[in-house]
Amino acid sequence: MMQLQTRLLLSGLGFGESPRWHQNKLWLSDMSLRQVMAVDINGKSEKIIEIPAQPSGLGWLPDGRLQVISMTDRRLLRLDQGVLTEVADLSGLASGICNDMVVDKVGRSYIGNFGLNTDLKQRRIGPAEIILVTPEGKAQVAATDLVFPNGTVITPDGRELIVAETFANRLTAFDIKPDGSLSKHRVWAELDNNMLPDGICLDAEGAIWTAIAFRPEVIRVKRGGEVTHRINLSGQAIACMLGGIDRRTLFILTAEPRSKSRTAGQLEVVKVEVPGAGLP
């Protein structure tokens, strides 16, 4: 198994989530600082917009407009010429606090949530859904009976969606029908009991990089569960994304939950052999 070594690109984050490579920058949501930000390849950062109810999943419509999850009020928002507007109120569909998201090539958003009556401190986890929202704002439940659906990717052909079920220790796949609905709920990879997949990204060989929640580690796993690479980190892994000019830079968000500082989060990077693929 191959071991890789990261380097620090940026410190001073709170709790970074949902990294995305877009317009030659890494975009991310800082849940603790309640803002969406962008970071260039040299580590220079800028604030894009504040989200008072905590931002999470990010994605872009075909016309380039940013969409972002507002977590605790369970809304999908859109940034249009500097102004945030509501695309969909998900409070009637999402069992728990809304979380990560992937947006497909035609602008359909697939959104996970924490689950019914979930209490992370007590490790009490309830069933959750993936919600599908069209670019026009029509929302519907696309999949049910998931265990904390978290990081999500779509394959390059647009036919398969893969989601990390964090507290089920697995990656789960669905077929994407032409109308955007999901079918053929199945296991993509089972992980060991101590591996909780968090944020994920896909590479050109069809393998998935996943941050391992509550541990300072990121792994690369193939369909079926074979782990090919491990990366040890300085802090707790949260999420990862392949980007850079050739999409061979793996950006990794880490945090220090036990730190007394509100800005102990970091962004680490490492070069890998296989470039990123698919969405986000």
Q: What integer pLDDT is reported at residue 203 of this predicted model?
A: 98
Cα 58 to Cα 248: distance, rounded to the nearest angstrom? 21
> What sign has the CA pseudo-torsion 190, 180, 152, 150?
negative
Task: Give the tens place of pLDDT for each residue, 10-37.
Answer: 999 999 999 999 999 999 999 999 999 9
**Phi then psi for 42, rounded to 5 degrees?**
-95, 0
Domain boundaries, the chain: 2-271
Q: Which DSSP string do the residues of 71-99 spell out, in sequence order?
A: TTTTEEEEEETTEEEEEEE-TTT-SS-EE
Q: Is the pLDDT of residue 262 over 80?
A: no
Q: Which CATH class is domain 2-271?
A: mainly beta
**pTM of this structure:** 0.96
Q: What integer pLDDT is reported at residue 10 of this predicted model?
A: 97
Task: Give the tens place of pLDDT for each residue, 161-198.
Answer: 999 999 999 999 999 999 999 999 999 999 998 899 99
Q: What integer pLDDT is reported at residue 120 of this predicted model?
A: 73
Task: Give the tens place of pLDDT for each residue, 119-175.
Answer: 777 677 889 999 999 999 999 999 999 999 999 999 999 999 999 999 999 999 999
Q: Name the token pair of 278.
A: 């698919």
Task: Give the tens place of pLDDT for each residue, 189-233.
Answer: 999 988 999 999 999 999 999 999 999 999 999 999 999 999 999
